[in-house]
Amino acid sequence: MPDYHDDLRLGHVLADAADSTTMERFKALDLKVETKPDMTPVSEADKAAEELIRGSLQRARPRDAVLGEEFGSEGSGPRRWVIDPIDGTKNYVRGVPVWATLIALMERGEGGDRPVVGVVSAPALGRRWWAAEGLGAYTGRSLSSASRLAVSKVNSLSDASLAYSSLSGWEERGKLNGFLDLTRACWRTRGYGDFWPYMMVAEGSVDICAEPELSLWDMAANAVIVQEAGGRFTGLDGVPGPNSGDAAASNGLLHGAMLDYLRSS
Q: How far is CA 145 from CA 54, 125, 138, 139, 233, in A?
A: 27, 17, 10, 9, 26
In this structure, are strands 79-87 and 65-68 parallel, antiparallel, or unpaired? parallel
Which pLDDT score is estimated for 265? 62
> Is 7 assigned a ligand-binding role in the annotation?
no
Q: How far is CA 151 from CA 17, 74, 211, 237, in A?
A: 29, 35, 19, 22
Q: Average pLDDT for consecutive 10-residue bins of the chain (265 residues)? A: 92 97 91 81 91 97 96 94 96 94 94 94 97 97 91 98 93 93 97 95 98 96 98 97 96 98 84
> In this structure, what DSSP letter does residue 240 have?
B
Question: Which positions ≥6 away from 163 have C-beta within 8 Å?
Answer: 189, 190, 191, 192, 193, 196, 197, 200, 201, 206, 208, 209
C-alpha to C-alpha distance for 70 and 136, rounded to whole angstroms: 30
Which pLDDT score is estimated for 145? 87
> Is 84 assigned a ligand-binding role in the annotation?
yes
Domains, the chain, ordered by start: 4-148 (3.30.540.10), 157-263 (3.40.190.80)
Question: Please, how many CA atoms are within 13 Å of residue 181, restricted to the half-sphere of its CB?
Answer: 13
> Is 69 assigned a ligand-binding role in the annotation?
yes
C-alpha to C-alpha distance for 203 and 248, rounded to whole angstroms: 16
> Is 86 assigned a ligand-binding role in the annotation?
yes
